[in-house]
Amino acid sequence: MIASFKTDPRVCMRAVCALYRQHTIEKKSMAASGHSRNQGFCTTDEQRAGTLLAEFLLGGNLDGEMN
């Protein structure tokens, strides 16, 4: 799987979007329940870069395809 990220940029971008979707959905769910859980991106820098990239690729639509 990791080798595919290196050879196919589209697969890598889809993975970033999937992590972003998972993180965003879990974050909303945990906030509603009062719990906290950090999964998806490992560091603050990765989270910031991954979030910006995913928001750009998804155009703000968590349910849609990449732009």
Q: Where are the domains of the chain?
A: 2-58
- C-beta of residue 58 within 8 angstroms of C-beta of residue 66: yes
Reported as a single tens digit per residue, the pLDDT across 37-46 is: 555 556 677 7
Q: Across all residues in the chain, what is the average pLDDT?
A: 78
pLDDT for residue 5 is more than 80: no
- pLDDT score, position 10: 87
pLDDT for residue 2 is more than 80: no
Determine what percent of the chain is predicted with pLDDT higher than 90.
0
- φ/ψ region of 40 (left if φ > 0, alpha if ψ in -120 to 50, else beta) reads left
